[in-house]
A and B are shown apart, each in its own frame.
Chain A
Amino acid sequence: MFDAATAPLVQVDGLKMYFPIYSGILRRHTGNVKAVDGVSFDIQAGETLGLVGESGCGKSTVGRALLRLYEPTAGAVVIEGEDIAKLTPEALRRKRPTMQMVFQDPQASLNPRMTLADIISEPLIEHTNWNADRRLERVYELMDAVGLNRRFANRFPHEFSGGQRQRIGIARALALNPKFIVCDEPIAALDVSIQAQVVNLLEDLQEKLGLTYLFISHDLSMVRHIADRVAVMYLGRIAELSPRDALFAKPLHPYAEALLSAVNEPDPSLARRPRIILKGDVPSPARPPKGCNFSTRCPKAFARCHEEKPELQEVEPGRHVACFLYASQTGSTGTLEAKEHIQQGEYK
């Protein structure tokens, strides 16, 4: 589908984002919340990478660190050959037009005191030297593109419904002709019947403008619809990164398997199938477990999982999994060994 020779548009390598914890009377640095702990992936031009996981797993932090809305603790984010994490502020500002973001809550991400035209033209004022007429023309163009009536240009955000507000947010993100857009849960705050409208719009725009998306969501069925490849995150690390169809047909990582099994299908016969119920809660990212981050809840965990952290490895063409069940250090025997573990029921 994609030309293998061209470099990916976005390359993320070993991205870490730690938030320091200060405590005690002296406010000493006593630890870190490891929101993102060594994440690597790349996104091809024109592709949609889905990023899924539960709340607190670090998926939004990845999206924000990618655009350097946070200063990453470590790692490289290369977009079109330039390492975003190392750019000077001025170079970063010039780079901003290529990468934009659509936020989750359209209520909170639009200034209530600005009109729709002001909101959409703000990036144009910042990054172009166009005059007011030319900007307004572009605003109208964008409003047409996202399906907002031109008559609404002088209205304020509170006059719009949730779905329409999300369209405003998308129009603003498109203003400078970006190549890469991070969509951070763009449909989570919307009603079911409106979600489909926004997702269709995103897909149409991608086709028309050749956009590349990082689509962050916790809605697995929507990710299956929109994404080409999917990364499943758990507690700051990627558990599995696979092409969409392969992942949904047969998830390899035990967490991906449990996550898919937990989704309720709108069909009584499917929704009442036996499912994998995970015990307990997600551990705190300030104190992740010693071994694999998922080892505390994993139904298939064995001794090694509690001791070492598994690295993301390609176990089938295009499929990357961080799990010792598929460990390849010892070649195929590693996998065999793991399979024996399962068969002998050594896990709890």
Chain B
Amino acid sequence: MPDRAAPVLDVKGLKTVFRTRGGEIHAVNDVSFHLERGELLGVVGESGSGKSVTMMSLIGLLPSPPAEIRSGSVMLGDLDLLKITPEQLRNVRGDKVGFIFQDPMTSLNPVFNIGFQIAEPLRRHMGMNKAQAKARAVELLELVGIPDAAKRLGDYPHQFSGGMRQRVMIAIALACDPDVLIADEPTTALDVTIQAQILELVKELRVKLGMAIIWITHDLGVIAAIADRVMVMYGGQIVEQAPVKDLFANPQHPYTRALLKTIPSLTGVREKRLQVIEGQPPIMTTAPSACAFRARCTHAFDRCEVENPKRHGIDRLPLGQGHDVACHWVAAPVSAETAHV
């Protein structure tokens, strides 16, 4: 479990805007969070909720234009990733921060063999020579459970199956022993039995290597299986944040509650009719001045129309450490007090 030492990653007030011909899209609106050493932080939300854009903004992976990071700070140790030069940022990426993308087919280069692709960050960041890099590449492939690792170095991505390709991606991400691993929907493109293999692998590697992981997904089941702490995003904002058990046992935000109810269960009583969240997720053309979920919320009242709710704790712990939620309906501090006494 993470201790209370300085977080590996501390994000404050991040705002990302896309400038398009049709106007601005406020994709990330004042997002703040931190990541403890060795922690696995799950980020859930629907497509367009800003979860991927947030993480891409952190490490400067968004093309600019159209993307523009308006404000915020991203502290990795004592380095502000938003202030450093592109050259410095290149040194951070793949070294201190590793990432795994959703689709292992499109994120591996089809014209290079995987030995080359694993060795690339090793030679670039660790200054290894060819022989050292190759030896390390074999080690890494063995670590992620690819049989016959030494023989497979010369193989190309198309010679691997989907699950194996994702293992190669993980090997590349782990190559330089990163402090932070960002995994953007790494198992979404995989079948359930292969997904189960990859989740087991990640659990095992976490214990072995002790890195902090940000795991982006829309699958609450995956979150329940591996995360320590969860952030729920909606309309480019964090609407709820809690340790995984609290979130599933005691969801606060109407969106989280509804989301948990829309998923049919595999065990227990079979529901006659699925609960739905009516309407569509919003497209944020302006910075939010009201609650982004109000149009779909069953509890919305007048205050939701005029004021964007701020995150507030429901268990008296400092923001980000306990369970917090951004909602006027669960806001009333009185009810929060009484609920807790």
Contacts and interface: CB of A to CB of B under 8 A. Distances in A.
Nearest to B147: A280
B164 A281 contact: yes
A218 B265 CA distance: 15
A196 interface: yes
Nearest to B230: A268
Contact of A281 (B163, B196, B259): B163
Given A54-B193, A199-B274, A278-B197, A161 B280 contact: yes
A224 B200 contact: no
Contacts of B195: 262, 264
A221 B263 contact: yes
A335 to B, nearest CB: 26
B248 A192 contact: no
A197 interface: yes
A265 B266 contact: yes
A218 B267 contact: no
A265 B219 contact: no
A221 B265 contact: yes
Contact of B221 (A191, A195, A266, A269): A266
A224 B193 contact: no
A191 B248 CA distance: 19
Contacts, number: 118
Nearest to B161: A281
A192 B220 CA distance: 10
A21 interface: no
B224 A271 contact: yes
A197 B197 CA distance: 31
A277 interface: yes
B276 A268 contact: no
B262 A264 contact: no
Contacts of A193: 46, 258-259, 262, 276-277, 281
Contacts of A194: 280
Contacts of A277: 193, 196-197, 200
B245 A263 contact: no
A245 B221 CA distance: 21
A197 B276 contact: yes
Interface in B185-234: 191-197, 199-200, 218-225
A217 B323 CA distance: 35
Interface in B124-168: 161, 163-164
A263 B222 CA distance: 9
Interface residues on A, range: 35 or more
B264 interface: yes
A203 interface: yes
Best-surrounded residue of B46, B164, B263 (most CB of chain A within 10 A): B263
B47 interface: yes
B295 interface: no
A218 B192 contact: yes
Contacts of A271: 221, 224-225
Contact of B274 (A161, A196, A278): A196
Contacts of B262: 192-193, 195-196
A136 interface: no
A277 B263 CA distance: 24
A224 B220 contact: no
B265 A192 contact: no
A278 B193 contact: yes
Given A225-B264, A225-B271, A277-B197, A192 B224 contact: no
B46 A262 contact: no
A196 B279 CA distance: 12
Contacts of B223: 266
A251 to B, nearest CB: 11
A55 B199 CA distance: 19
Interface string A212-225: 00000010111011
Interface residues of B, number: 44
A290 interface: no
A149 B265 CA distance: 32
B270 A270 contact: no
B197 A266 contact: no
A162 to B, nearest CB: 9
A29 interface: no
A78 B311 CA distance: 59
A221 B264 contact: yes
B280 A265 contact: no
A267 interface: yes
B196 A270 contact: no
A325 to B, nearest CB: 19
Interface string B267-297: 1001101111110110000000000000000
A196 B277 CA distance: 8
A92 interface: no
A163 B220 CA distance: 20
Contact of A272 (B225, B264, B271, B280): B225
A192 B259 contact: yes
A54 B197 CA distance: 14
A266 B263 CA distance: 8
B137 to A, nearest CB: 22
A269 B220 CA distance: 13
Interface of A: 54-55, 161, 163, 191-197, 199-200, 203, 218, 220-222, 224-225, 245, 248, 258-272, 275, 277-278, 281-282
6 shortest interchain CB distances as A-B pairs:
A264-B221, A54-B191, A225-B264, A271-B225, A271-B224, A266-B220
Interface of B: 46-47, 161, 163-164, 191-197, 199-200, 218-225, 244-245, 248, 258-260, 262-267, 270-271, 273-278, 280-281
Given A191-B218, A264-B225, 19 more contacts: A54-B193, A54-B194, A191-B47, A192-B46, A192-B218, A193-B46, A193-B277, A196-B274, A196-B276, A225-B270, A225-B271, A261-B196, A262-B196, A267-B224, A269-B245, A270-B224, A277-B196, A278-B193, A281-B163
26 contacts: A54-B194, A191-B218, A192-B46, A192-B218, A192-B259, A192-B262, A193-B281, A200-B274, A220-B192, A222-B264, A224-B264, A224-B265, A225-B270, A225-B274, A259-B192, A259-B193, A261-B196, A264-B195, A264-B222, A266-B260, A267-B248, A268-B225, A270-B267, A275-B196, A277-B197, A278-B196
